[in-house]
Structure 1
Amino acid sequence: MSKVRSGSATHYDVVVIGSGFGGSVAALRLTEKGYRVGVLETGARFDDPGQPDPRRRHAALPRNSWRLRKFLWAPRLGLRGIQRVHLIRGRKGSRVLVLAGAGVGGGSLVYANTLYRPGGEFFTDPQWAGIADWESELTPAYDQASRMLGVVDNPVHTPADAAMKTVAKRLGVADSFHYTRVGVHFGDGPEPVADPYFGGAGPERSGCVACGSCMTGCRQGAKNMLTENYLYLAERAGAVIHPLTTVTRLRPREEGGYRVDTVRTGPWGRGRRCFTADQVIVAAGTYGTQTLLHRMRDNGDLPGLSKRLGWLTRTNSEAILGAMRFGRKGEDHSKGLAITSSIHPDANTHIEPVRYGPGSNAMGALSTILIDKDQSHRWRALLAYALKHPADALRLPYLRHWSRRTVVALVMQNRDNSIRVSLKRGRLRAEPGHGEPNPTWIPVGHKATRYLAEEIGGLPGGTWLEMWDIPTTAHFLGGCVIGADPDSGVVDAYHRVFGQPGLHVVDGSAVSANPGVNPSLTITAQAERAMSLWPNKGEADPRPAPGQPYRRVEPVAPRQPAVPADAPGALRYLAVNSLNHA
């Protein structure tokens, strides 16, 4: 399916900005429906589609987190890696350090392949509960997303899981312990096998070797990254991916549709290129999408954007803590999957043990002693601890074998808290938002981490930024939430942007509540549902016109599905949804 050049611009029916969990779904499903689709990705490409051997196909991914050019994202410094790190400054109680992904495949390159469905509270959050029965609408989409991402129960059990099981028992919630649901191909061994998911339409795959390197890039080819499913199939069906393409401007055209101005990603802003499209889907991840839309509204290019842009930005009520052992004796915690199990200390809190693979010790530089107080007392408490335990204070910055000695504790909550994000001097800034205050420390998370440290014979740790009441989140969400109208949200129930016809948002920024679990499956499911409601190219749109009240719409079958009907990953969303709706 070829692109069309119009003068000096490249024209597509649909331009998708971003190639993560939302953008990749949009690319595949709309290509199946006959649209010419171009995907603009600011990051680099790390997979080689021409290589059938999965290990060679992913050889460009970093070996560990010290390979900064391939691991860390700082394009102005010439670093085009897979790990974004953004500090959002602002008022006390709203600042946050954001970890996210970069590259073709978005967050799937760096995420911990953990794919959970949220609890019922997510679907009944007041922000969107009055619009639709979201659990009913999204359940078949979760099912389809799970098939596409190859979700299975984790069979790899590690010493960190045994420690977490004991922690759960000490917290009085032993029954809450369970192993994760993950998107990984385990197979019968490390050797490549024929496509196990898509009836031969997908790539060859290798089995997981439990190397622990999921979050620095799976060079084995076992992780079900988006380059192994949605994006791979979308390209085969005719979608065109443009890596290292940074969007600098997005604005409507007089003749309809949008103009998208870009530069080649890098320190100099060279290689300018223009794309035009009848419709644009913004799926640049919450940080990228909010940054782009705030800029375009503030400079007058997208004046119709809702004033609610940036409201209800969520951190998944998250904290990243850890337990660190000193000395080489003891279990090697770098082996396994990135996340292998979960516990639930209470109805609102979810904790997972997390690991980096051998040699990936760079993130340990963020670590310091775990302090249980707010900012006014933390530095005093840290100094008192260092004076009382000088050996611990001196050993903590020691990074050698950090990944072998450390179990990271990822703490998430489904509580109704948020921050409000806006653009000031070209950068996102935060202030306290709706609901409860965004937590700067989570007491039950600290308690569990202290127990975990005792179980592995180590010290409990937090991050240096927590000393300034700045938590860390790997799941930055919201800010372009679903609402009944532009006074309550940025997009409607079909992910169409209020006030900007032909513009859509389909990524984590449209997640309208804290899921309290890893959100990748939710982002994928919301995208599956949204794309299923688009018409095939040239057909009548079954959705109500923009601005009209919501009504439930039956999914539209694509003319040219990319996956054979008898394959495990086949598009069975339609039949399931029709049965549920009958």
Structure 2
Amino acid sequence: MKYDYDYLIVGSGFGGSVSALRLTEKGYTVGVMEMGRRWTPENMPKTNWNIANFLWMPFVGLRGFLSMRFFKHVVIMHGNAVGGGSIGYAQTLLVPPDSVWADGSWAGLDEWQKVMPGHYATAKRMLGVARNPILGNADLMLQKMAVAAGVGDTFYPTDVGVFFGKEGDRPGTTYADPFFGGAGPDRKSCIGCGSCMVGCRHDAKNTLDKNYLYLAEKNGAKVHAETKVLDVRPVNGKADGSDGYEVTVTPTFGPPSDKRTYLARNIIFSASSLGTQELLFRLKQGGSLPNISDDLGNRVRTNSESLLSVRYPGAGIDMSKGIGIGSGIYVDEHTHIEAVRYPAGSDMMSSLFTVLTDGKPGWSRPISWLGAMFKLLIANPVKGLRSLLPFGFAEQTVIFLCMQTVDGHINMRYKRPWYWPFREKLVTEGDPIPTFIPSANEFARKGALATGGIAQSSMSEIFMNVPMTAHCMGGCAMADTAERGVIDSQNRVFNYKNMMVVDGSMLGANLGVNPSLTITALAERAMSFIPQAQKAAT
């Protein structure tokens, strides 16, 4: 049989890009199917008001890179692009606490605390991790709030995947490849414009298309952008995939009838936690891969997140300068808060926030919001009203990304919901996720009082009783058996040969920090188990 690729990878995010590079280095032919677009500094949106090039909703003509998925339990934000979530993330690359390896389904599968430091070191080198030297007003404001709350000693500048250049050089200076001995692209040093999450137009952000994926393509990997995978099924009647897989794809934005089929010896699912779960559910329930573990979709985690903010209308302080997430603090042993910013003019996210509201989660919380709104407008009508308008939001606001290591999860299922009987789709089940973190709310309230700002909550928490997260994890967890997970300790899918899952869906515990570095490190580990191509053939 003539195969198109030794390995076909679905998705080009952190798991897919790492896999593509390491497999090409081992002598394999690699194809990468990516549903999203390829982005360059020339076609990046200048602000998030350019929703056609910022948001991803192809069915209504939006072809950006940020997808927002609304579920009963949570609103999930994730990326769709060549380079996956790296195109629009805030490039915070942190190592989680050691305790995560003793939790969840992967506990005991390896000597994690001995094995992982080496893979983290490789991931940091490849992603160009550096300590943020640009502390903008938002970071300094977070530090001031932390001091007022009695946790000033926990303040830290973030470790991020950004190229800052040489000390003393002018920001925006062009350098020959500073990371890979000339094998990578030229880069420019960060100018601190705050545009990280709208897409870096200045060649400073270390996105995957400038490291792992860039090098993989130089080695011969073929990236098929704007290509959606429709079907994956074993060939030659070998139900376990021992002879490889037939993969049917279609253009993301083209006619559904325009299909093509590829033959691959091996397949790797790296379509993000949501994307991989959705595809595997469809393949399992549609009969193409019926033996996928019934544990699929279980224990999906969200870092137990909450989005808050403090806004300073009329203060004349520009909070938009710096990098996407430039600093963080720890409110307590479980609660971690990072200062987030958008560039000047990117005020669309203002629609997500309203006055800080406590109260009991559920139907009564909008009533608590009415009370909070009344107090705000009575106490300071002009400033309060300005805090609710979109204009100037990015320059006036410190957004708080609040995360907890406290474990909690939901389950994903693929079925026809009562409100959309036309086709099956991903839905959530399980106990509700807490819709606000009391200690984070209290910090925002004290911080706003100490600095003259107005604290704000997320709209979705108040009116939908669901939190928002950019860190969806799990659903195809690593475990010791198919009854407890979808993949084994080497990322191989139970009940199939030549099939792996390498992305955020493999995570077996709540990390409490941005998962990108951990996904990268675990992908490095997964690829370390694959032999050189010549050895595989003998």
Out of 65, 71, 89, the position equivalent to 2:48 is 65
For the residues of structure 2 that align with 1:477 and 1:140, how far apart are their CA atoms? 22
1:411 matched to 2:393? The reply is: no
The answer as to whether partners of 1:78 and 1:267 remain within 8 angstroms in 2 is: no
Partner of 1:559: none
The answer as to whether partners of 1:77 and 1:267 remain within 8 angstroms in 2 is: no
For the residues of structure 1 that align with 2:255 and 2:347, how far apart are their CA atoms? 31
Out of 52, 64, 70, the position equivalent to 1:81 is 64
Match runs of 1:157-176 below 5 Å: 157-176=135-154
| Percent of aligned pairs sharing the same letter | 44
Out of 29, 39, 48, the position equivalent to 1:36 is 29
Match runs of 1:324-403 below 5 Å: 324-327=311-314, 329-373=315-359, 374-390=361-377, 391=381, 394-403=385-394
The amino acid of 1:75's aligned partner reads: P
Partner of 2:453: 458
Q: TM-score, normalised by structure 2?
A: 0.93
Partner of 1:491: 487
Partner of 2:420: none
For the residues of structure 2 that align with 1:253 and 1:150, how far apart are their CA atoms? 41
For the residues of structure 2 that align with 1:39 and 1:472, how far apart are their CA atoms? 30
Out of 104, 107, 110, the position equivalent to 2:88 is 110
For the residues of structure 1 that align with 2:64 and 2:247, how far apart are their CA atoms? 24
For the residues of structure 2 that align with 1:263 and 1:67, how far apart are their CA atoms? 27
For the residues of structure 1 that align with 2:451 and 2:77, how far apart are their CA atoms? 26
CA shift in 2, pair 1:396/1:133, >3 Å: same
SS at match of 2:342: coil
Partner of 1:427: 425
Give 1:397 deviation, angstroms.
3.7
1:148 matched to 2:130? The reply is: no
The amino acid of 2:214's aligned partner reads: Y
Partner of 1:18: 11
1:529 matched to 2:525? The reply is: yes
SS at match of 1:116: coil
Give 1:182 deviation, angstroms.
0.6
Q: TM-score, normalised by structure 1?
A: 0.86
For the residues of structure 1 that align with 2:77 and 2:268, how far apart are their CA atoms? 23
Partner of 2:240: none
Give 1:511 deviation, angstroms.
1.1
CA shift in 2, pair 1:208/1:121, >3 Å: same
Residues 432-487 of structure 1, C-alpha deviations (whole Å, 9 max, x = no match):
26xxx632211111112223323442211112111221100010110111000101
For the residues of structure 1 that align with 2:412 and 2:508, how far apart are their CA atoms? 15
The answer as to whether partners of 1:168 and 1:177 remain within 8 angstroms in 2 is: yes
The answer as to whether partners of 2:312 and 2:387 remain within 8 angstroms in 1 is: no
Out of 206, 223, 230, the position equivalent to 2:212 is 230
1:128 matched to 2:106? The reply is: yes
CA shift in 2, pair 1:535/1:184, >3 Å: same
For the residues of structure 1 that align with 2:256 and 2:392, how far apart are their CA atoms? 39
The answer as to whether partners of 1:76 and 1:266 remain within 8 angstroms in 2 is: no
SS at match of 1:44: coil
Out of 198, 208, 221, the position equivalent to 2:180 is 198
The answer as to whether partners of 1:38 and 1:241 remain within 8 angstroms in 2 is: yes
Residues 103-138 of structure 1, C-alpha deviations (whole Å, 9 max, x = no match):
100000001011000001111114211221112111
Structure 1 residue ranges without an equivalent (≥5): 48-57, 90-94, 543-582
Give 1:171 deviation, angstroms.
3.0
Structure 2 residue ranges without an equivalent (≥5): 238-242, 417-423
Give 1:393 deviation, angstroms.
6.4
For the residues of structure 1 that align with 2:84 and 2:450, how far apart are their CA atoms? 35
Give 1:267 deviation, angstroms.
6.9
For the residues of structure 1 that align with 2:375 and 2:128, how far apart are their CA atoms? 50
For the residues of structure 1 that align with 2:505 and 2:533, how far apart are their CA atoms? 27
Give 1:172 deviation, angstroms.
2.6
The answer as to whether partners of 1:42 and 1:243 remain within 8 angstroms in 2 is: yes
Partner of 1:322: 309
For the residues of structure 1 that align with 2:374 and 2:445, how far apart are their CA atoms? 20
Give 1:541 deviation, angstroms.
9.6
CA shift in 2, pair 1:455/1:206, >3 Å: farther
CA shift in 2, pair 1:395/1:330, >3 Å: closer
Residues 358-407 of structure 1, C-alpha deviations (whole Å, 9 max, x = no match):
11111111111221121232111112233344446644441111100111
SS at match of 1:477: coil
For the residues of structure 2 that align with 1:46 and 1:166, how far apart are their CA atoms? 37
The answer as to whether partners of 2:192 and 2:321 remain within 8 angstroms in 1 is: yes
SS at match of 1:417: coil
The answer as to whether partners of 2:311 and 2:453 remain within 8 angstroms in 1 is: yes
SS at match of 2:331: strand
The amino acid of 1:308's aligned partner reads: D
The answer as to whether partners of 2:311 and 2:398 remain within 8 angstroms in 1 is: yes
What is the count of residue pairs matched by the alignment? 516
Partner of 1:269: 256
